[in-house]
Copies of this chain bind each other. A is one copy, B any other.
Amino acid sequence: MSLDKRKIKILKAIISSYIDNAEAVGSRTISKKYKLGVSPATIRNEMSDLEDMGYLVQPHTSSGRIPTDKAYRYYVDDLWRKVKTTKNPNLDQLREIIEDKSNELDEIFKNSVRILSQFTKYTSFVVAPQLKQSIIKRIQLVPVSEYKVLMLIILQTNVVKQVMLILNSPIPYTQLDKISESLSEKMYGHKLEDIDKIKDNLIKELYYTKEAHSDALMELLPYLMEQIAKFEDVNVFSDGITNILELPEYNDVVKAREFISFIEDKSSVAKLLQHTSENDLDICIGSENKNLELKDCSLITATYKLNGKLIGRIGVIGPTRMDYNNVISTVKSISDAISEIINQNFSVENKE
């Protein structure tokens, strides 16, 4: 028995009906709505075959059929060939919405997941690039008030992190630039994540640097290093969590609660995304997911890159009967938009 043309037509009809209505599909429905020119009886025979082949299941003997994960996999692989070739027309529009006025990386991600969940009606999330992997370009101390100094950590990607330092005793403004220079010189080229390991050495080295040799600085150093070490490890943004309340499969509050509590746990989501393949676009259907909690969910993720290097993933999670067509192209568009935006705004400029 093989998937002949008619079987394929019927299978696709069932899948697309089930995606729309979340209700088991009967032979009559297919025959009427998807006019294949054959009677329900014929369709019943074919459906029986499709069930034997593992593409359909019946929730109970006298009900219609619903697609299995295998069916979705077939459907998606088929879709895949078409999506790949169609170019997204509205990329510029997307860029405009996502691109943030304040040029903040986090804002770009927040916008992205917001748009993504609005467009797909599912839950979406993004893992922000691991800040700790970034390399320090320069440190700049800026006086704010007598006892407050703002430390700006300028990264190679031109992302600027700010840390407010509270002083025990004031440091004259005029010294701050010199201190900044010394700090920059010593910390240049190090990754943020390495600071914690080498901080003792750094402090020692700085101690012997003539310009920086002020009591105020020495007092400040351990505190300053500590603040850097405290930067967040992974950062996950999500949006549209409550979208799932609109779906009939989550009409049961208990189910909804379970899903939400899983998704709200950022570390589990981060793990989820780190365990996916390195593919540009990854589709994980139902039981293909390693997490048992997600056996009824599909996960569509795409990568975004900076200077050609993979730095994060953005994705959508929804029921296995999700609107793959829409989700796949939306995720792809938005991940492309993110890549473009960050490459334009945050790439390492070689001319320097």
Residues in A lying within 8 Å of B, measured CB to CB: 101-104, 140, 142, 144-148, 150, 152, 154, 158, 160, 162-164, 166, 227, 230, 241-242, 245-246, 250-251, 253, 256-257, 260-261, 264, 345, 349, 351-352
Closest CB-CB distance, A342 to chain B, in whole Å? 13
Closest CB pairs A-B (n = 10): A103-B164, A245-B257, A242-B260, A145-B158, A144-B158, A101-B230, A251-B253, A145-B349, A150-B160, A140-B142
Chain B positions within 8 Å of A230 at CB level: 101-102
Nearest CB of chain B from residue A341's CB, rounded to whole Å: 12
The answer on a CB contact under 8 Å between A146 and B242 is: no
A257 partner residues in chain B, CB cutoff 8 A = 242, 245-246
* A162 vs chain B, min Cβ distance (A): 6
- A245 partner residues in chain B, CB cutoff 8 A: 253, 256-257, 260
Task: Give the residues in chain B near A103, CB-CB below 8 Å.
Answer: 163-164, 166
Given contacts A162-B162, A242-B241, contact A352 B145 (CB under 8 A): yes
Interface of A is mostly: mixed
CA–CA, A245 and B256, complex, Å:
9
CA distance A11 to B148 in the complex (A): 55
* B145:A142 contact, CB within 8 angstroms: no
Q: How far is the CB of A4 from chain B (nearest CB, A)?
A: 42
Closest Cβ of chain B to A91, distance in Å, is 20
User: Bound state CA distance, A150 and B159, in angstroms?
Assistant: 10
Q: How far is the CB of A166 from chain B (nearest CB, A)?
A: 7
Given the contacts A160-B150, A256-B253, A242 and B264 also touching, CB distance less than 8 Å: yes
CA of A164 to CA of B163, assembled, Å: 17
Q: Are A160 and B162 in contact (CB under 8 A)?
A: yes
Q: List 19 other contacts, CB 8 Å, given A102-B162, A103-B164, A144-B154.
A: A101-B227, A101-B230, A102-B163, A103-B163, A103-B166, A142-B152, A142-B154, A144-B160, A145-B349, A146-B351, A148-B158, A150-B152, A150-B154, A160-B164, A242-B257, A245-B253, A245-B256, A250-B253, A251-B253
Q: State whether A102 touches B158 (Cβ < 8 A).
A: no
Question: Is there contact, CB below 8 Å, between B152 and A102?
Answer: no
Q: For the complex, what is the distance from the CA of A148 to the CA of B154, rounded to whole Å?
A: 11
Across the two chains, which residue of chain B brings its CB closest to A180?
B142
Which residues of B sit under 8 angstroms from A160, Cβ to Cβ? 142, 144, 150, 162, 164
Residues of B within 8 A of A145 (CB): 158, 349, 352
Return chain B residues, CB-CB under 8 Å to A166.
Answer: 103, 345
Known: A162-B160, A245-B253, A245-B257. A352 touches B146 (CB 8 A): yes
Residues of B contacting A351 in the complex (Cβ-Cβ under 8 angstroms): 146
Q: Are A164 and B242 also in contact (CB < 8 A) when A142-B152, A148-B158, A150-B152 are?
A: no
A128 to chain B, nearest CB (A): 16
Q: How far is the CB of A113 from chain B (nearest CB, A)?
A: 14
Chain A to chain B contacts (Cβ below 8 Å), 14 pairs:
A103-B163, A103-B164, A103-B166, A142-B142, A144-B154, A145-B158, A147-B349, A152-B152, A160-B164, A241-B242, A242-B242, A245-B256, A245-B257, A251-B253
